[in-house]
């Protein structure tokens, strides 16, 4: 029984419907909402601001700190008890590592840029949605970045290499591999790579090539969210390229 | 906006506010959306002015407490996430969050808004337990009132999940069309005393300028179900009477807004 | 063979390619990689001759010497006051830079500036670690009393001030308010409550629409309306 058609009918490179908006948390310096299928992440950026606790400050450049939180009612089953779970800690850390390579905080020594991501509902691909939202929020805050980071999960379900697995695919009763990936837009270099499941090397490379296409789709949406915020009333300034 | 507290106090004495509202007017817009989270049994997003709060209801089946073996339970929890304000810190709920949660909780519990006996499945063995989680997403002032409204909206629109009759396991992915046994609609309204005058729905700056505040939880009939006084300055009985009157009037206003939103 | 990939006043995102070829020069908020120039921030394209720069649409304030800012006293020390500046960096005002009069050794500094007070101050030194020294001795610098302080993104300050102060003068005239603009995005407005509200709304309007053309006309229209 080979997986030949995706449970929700999507093509192998088709992502779930996405929505993104910049500037959704008024108090934050930058913010964004990013939805992919039923997974929804809201990111708020504060900073550069003073580092607390002080010992974490870096005298050469500012630091990035991510805080990933699933709202107690956002899990697909029982309530999630509030508080820092180990999963949330790990995700916060890989988020930092996926965004730090593009962020330039050299002009802000001894400071921190805090990124808070709250998820009101989830259905697989949560860390990817969090990273994609966080990137929009960082740009919205005017933080210098050499490129945007776009993130989506790729993988294979029973032999079929696919992009953006939903919960049913992650839980499919066969050999599954769920690979969250984050990529720089210009160079397609990878800043987040994790995996749950099993995969052959050949399929892994295939999946990462698919990730180039999949993350590009996320990128288009991130750019749209940022530019829409500053959408002009008449046609002046509209980009005709890209 | 940051202001000298004196300016707010001076304006208040002349019945004026920074944004030209009257002292008893709520900010605009007032936006109430329910069923915003598919994973929650009930949920709402409420925005008043720039204050945004989300609330979600989760249900579970537990063994009732020994002294109330024929009742289910309800609890309200609040998280003032640092995403909502540069003044909120990470970590366990601080005193502001704890007070907010407990005041909203008391308003619902003491009003007996939910008939806990109707939550019982098998006395002494199984009952439904309701937990409301309130998450602040942007603190523009008056979080408590907005949180109370969000909690009520989430409870009103919550539905029981399907329970497998054979195993007794809850299938959270499927909802029944049975609502919670909500008999009352409790709503907290906080009245602030600024420079001797009474004010409703303060912004962050206005909140910093208050002398005393009184949160009044009430139901649609005007019965008071919760009271919480805050602030260093004492209140006279007469002032408290005026504050209660104003709170009941405003609760009625917000209830109408909620009814309007649920009809749409 | 060089090619400009975007137009003046386009909104671009970080990493967006602006130009190809070595004829163009990377200006503020851009960088060159191989033979292309890319944006480093979310902002508007500004081309001046061969230099391409990006005007950020928002962003943190970078403290600079000679900048006038509005800051809040957070601590009083033996030698003066420590201020919060709405940035990651606090600033020090030494007693000798606070006032021209002689301050006695035992004098209670909180009588001059108390914790929580706001003041209009000027930056006289910024170290490599962004530690800031202030002065309050020059004309126009003082403790703030009355009125209201609003906060806008520091990147919008030039637009609020306008060419040779034309925009801020327009707002002052039409609202009858005294307005002091801090380079760090804090603005002190003092006038009648209605005037202050109108000025606040005008400045917020500039913050929201500064990237659009015709801002001056929009502002004249807004301010021309009766309160």
The pLDDT tens digits of the residues spanning B161-208 come to: 999 989 989 999 999 999 999 999 999 999 999 999 999 999 998 998
Report the pLDDT averaged over residues A147-159: 95
**Closest Cβ–Cβ partner in B86, B133, B173 for A27:** B86
- Find the distance separating the first CA and the last CA of chain C, reported in whole Å: 56
Residues C158 and C209 in one domain: yes
Which CATH number is B143's domain given?
Answer: 3.30.230.70
The CA distance from C115 to A152, in Å, is 48
How confident is the model over A72-120, as pLDDT tens digits?
A: 999 999 999 999 899 999 999 999 999 999 999 999 999 999 999 999 9
Residue C204 domain-assigned (yes or no)? yes
pLDDT at residue number B10: 83
Chain C CB contacts of A110 below 8 Å? 88-89, 129-130
Q: Return the partners of chain A (3 or more C-beta pairs < 8 Å).
A: B, C
| B64 at interface of A, judged by CB pairs closer than 8 A | no
pLDDT at residue number B4: 65
| B49 at interface of A, judged by CB pairs closer than 8 A | no
pLDDT at residue number B2: 59
Instruction: Please count the other Cβ atoms lying within 10 Å of the Cβ belonging to residue C60.
Output: 28
The CA distance from C75 to C80, in Å, is 9
Chain A CB contacts of C212 below 8 Å? 232-233
Chain B CB contacts of C150 below 8 Å? 1-2
A40: pLDDT strictly greater than 60: yes
| B57 at interface of A, judged by CB pairs closer than 8 A | yes
pLDDT at residue number B152: 97
| B36 at interface of A, judged by CB pairs closer than 8 A | yes
Percent of chain B residues past pLDDT 90, beyond the cut: 83
Q: Which residues pair with C174 in a beta bridge?
A: none
Reduced to 3 states, what is the DSSP secondary structure of residue C144?
A: coil
Q: How much is the pTM?
A: 0.94
The CA distance from A115 to A96, in Å, is 9
A240: pLDDT strictly greater than 80: no
As separate numbers, helices (DSSP H) first and strands (DSSP E) second, chain A gives 4, 10
Mutant choice from A16, A31, A68, A73 vs B, greatest count of B C-beta within 10 A: A73
The CA distance from C76 to C109, in Å, is 7
Domain boundaries, chain A: 18-228
Q: Which residue of B has its CA nearest to C203?
A: B1
Report the pLDDT averaged over residues A126-147: 98
* B134-172 per-residue burial string, b: 16 or more CB within 10 A, e: under 16: bbbbbbbbbbbbbbbbbbbbbbbbbbbbebeeeeeebeb
B115: pLDDT strictly greater than 90: yes
Residues C108 and C162 in one domain: no
Residue C202 domain-assigned (yes or no)? yes
Alpha-carbon torsion, ordered B18, B19, B21, B24, to 10 deg: -60
| B108 at interface of A, judged by CB pairs closer than 8 A | no
**Closest Cβ–Cβ partner in B2, B7, B20 for C151:** B2
pLDDT at residue number A94: 97
**Closest Cβ–Cβ partner in A107, A233, A237 for C10:** A237
Q: Give the residue numbers spanning the domain of C32.
A: 3-56
Under CATH, what is the fold of the domain A18-228? Ribosomal Protein S5; domain 2 (3.30.230)
Judge: A82–B138 Cβ closer than 8 Å, yes or no. no
* B108-118 per-residue burial string, b: 16 or more CB within 10 A, e: under 16: bbebebbebee
B3: pLDDT strictly greater than 80: no
Residue C207 domain-assigned (yes or no)? yes
Which CATH number is C32's domain given?
Answer: 2.40.50.100
Residues C76 and C135 in one domain: yes
Mutant choice from A51, A147, A222 vs C, greatest count of C C-beta within 10 A: A147
Q: Give the residue numbers spanning the domain of B59.
A: 5-263
Judge: B7–C200 Cβ closer than 8 Å, yes or no. no
Q: Which residues pair with A50 in a beta bridge?
A: A111
Report the pLDDT averaged over residues A189-194: 97
DSSP string, C19-70: EESTTSEE-TTEEEETTEEEESSSEEEEEETTEEEEEESS-PPPP-TT-EEE
* B40-65 per-residue burial string, b: 16 or more CB within 10 A, e: under 16: bbbbbbbbbbbbbbbbbbbbbbeebe
How confident is the model over C139-154, as pLDDT tens digits?
A: 999 999 888 999 999 9
pLDDT at residue number A242: 29
Phi-psi region for residue A74, left (φ > 0), alpha (ψ -120 to 50) or beta? alpha
Judge: A76–B173 Cβ closer than 8 Å, yes or no. yes
Residues C136 and C166 in one domain: no
Residue C62 domain-assigned (yes or no)? no
Chain C CB contacts of A222 below 8 Å? 13
Q: Which residue of B has its CA nearest to C196?
A: B18
Alpha-carbon torsion, ordered B23, B188, B55, A93, to 10 deg: 70
Return the structure tokens found at B93: 């709920």
Q: Return the partners of chain B (3 or more C-beta pairs < 8 Å).
A: A, C
Last residue of a domain, one of C143, C169, C193: C143
Residues C32 and C13 in one domain: yes
Last residue of a domain, one of C80, C111, C143: C143
């Amino acid at each position: 029984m080979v997986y030949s058609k995706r449970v929700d009918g999507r093509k192998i490179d088709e992502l779930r419907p996405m929505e993104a908006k910049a500037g959704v948390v008024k108090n934050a310096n930058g913010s964004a909402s990013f939805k992919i299928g039923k997974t929804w992440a809201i990111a708020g950026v504060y900073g550069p601001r003073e580092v607390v606790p002080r010992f974490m400050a870096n005298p050469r450049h500012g630091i990035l700190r991510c805080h990933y939180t699933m709202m107690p009612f956002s899990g697909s089953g029982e309530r999630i008890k509030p508080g820092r779970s180990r999963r949330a800690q790990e995700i916060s850390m890989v988020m930092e590592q996926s965004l730090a390579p593009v962020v330039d905080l050299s002009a802000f020594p001894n400071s921190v840029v805090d990124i808070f991501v709250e998820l009101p509902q989830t259905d697989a691909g949560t860390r990817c949605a969090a990273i994609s939202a966080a990137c929009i929020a960082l740009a919205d805050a005017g933080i210098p970045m050499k490129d945007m980071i776009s993130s989506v999960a790729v993988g294979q379900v029973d032999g079929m290499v696919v992009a953006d697995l939903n919960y049913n695919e992650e839980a499919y009763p066969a050999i599954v591999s769920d690979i969250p990936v984050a990529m720089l837009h210009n160079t397609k270099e990878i800043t987040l790579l994790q995996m749950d499941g099993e995969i052959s090397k050949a399929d892994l490379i295939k999946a990462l090539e698919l990730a180039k296409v999949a993350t590009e789709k996320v990128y288009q949406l991130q750019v749209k969210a940022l530019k829409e915020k500053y959408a002009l009333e008449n046609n002046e300034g509209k980009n005709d390229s890209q | 906006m940051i202001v000298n507290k004196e300016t707010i106090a001076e304006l208040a004495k002349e019945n004026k506010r920074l944004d030209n509202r009257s002292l008893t007017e709520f900010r605009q817009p007032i936006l109430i959306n329910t069923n915003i989270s598919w994973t929650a049994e009930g949920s709402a997003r409420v925005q008043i002015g720039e204050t945004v709060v989300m609330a979600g209801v989760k249900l579970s089946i537990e063994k009732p407490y020994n002294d109330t073996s024929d009742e289910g339970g309800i609890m309200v929890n609040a998280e003032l996430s640092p995403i909502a304000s540069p003044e909120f810190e990470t970590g366990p709920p601080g005193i502001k969050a704890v007070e907010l949660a407990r005041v909203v909780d008391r308003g619902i519990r003491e009003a007996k808004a939910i008939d806990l006996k109707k939550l019982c499945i098998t006395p002494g063995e199984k009952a439904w337990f309701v937990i409301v989680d309130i998450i602040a997403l942007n603190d523009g002032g008056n979080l408590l009132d907005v949180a109370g409204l969000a909690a009520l909206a989430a409870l009103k629109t919550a539905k029981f999940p399907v329970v497998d009759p054979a195993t007794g396991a809850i299938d959270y992915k499927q909802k029944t069309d049975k609502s919670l046994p909500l008999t009352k609609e409790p709503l907290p309204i906080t009245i602030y005393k600024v420079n001797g005058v009474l004010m409703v729905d303060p912004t962050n700056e206005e909140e910093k300028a208050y002398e005393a505040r009184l949160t009044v939880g009430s139901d649609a009939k005007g019965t008071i179900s919760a009271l919480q006084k805050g602030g260093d300055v004492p209140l006279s009985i007469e002032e408290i009477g005026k504050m209660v009157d104003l709170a009941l009037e405003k609760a009625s206003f917000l209830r109408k807004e909620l009814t309007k939103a649920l009809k749409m | 063979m060089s090619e400009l990939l975007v137009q003046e006043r386009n909104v671009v995102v970080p990493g967006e390619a602006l130009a190809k070829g070595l004829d163009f020069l990377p200006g503020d908020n851009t960088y060159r990689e191989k033979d292309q120039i890319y944006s480093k921030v979310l902002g508007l394209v500004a081309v001046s001759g061969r230099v391409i720069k990006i005007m950020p649409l928002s962003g943190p304030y970078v403290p600079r010497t000679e900048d006038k800012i509005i800051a809040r006293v957070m601590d009083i020390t033996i030698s003066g006051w420590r201020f919060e500046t709405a940035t990651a960096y606090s600033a020090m005002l030494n007693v000798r830079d606070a006032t021209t009069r002689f301050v006695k050794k035992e004098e209670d500094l909180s009588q001059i500036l108390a914790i929580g007070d706001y003041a209009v101050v000027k930056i006289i030194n910024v170290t490599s670690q962004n530690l800031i020294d202030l002065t309050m001795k020059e004309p126009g610098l003082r403790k703030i009393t009355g009125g209201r302080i609003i906060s806008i993104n520091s990147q919008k300050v030039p637009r609020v001030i306008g060419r040779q102060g034309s925009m801020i003068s327009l707002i002052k005239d039409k609202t009858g308010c005294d307005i002091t603009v801090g380079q760090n995005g804090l603005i002190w407005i003092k006038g009648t409550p209605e005037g202050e509200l109108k000025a606040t709304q005008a400045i917020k309007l500039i913050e929201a629409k500064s990237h659009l053309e015709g801002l001056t006309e929009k502002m004249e229209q807004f301010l021309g309306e009766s309160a």
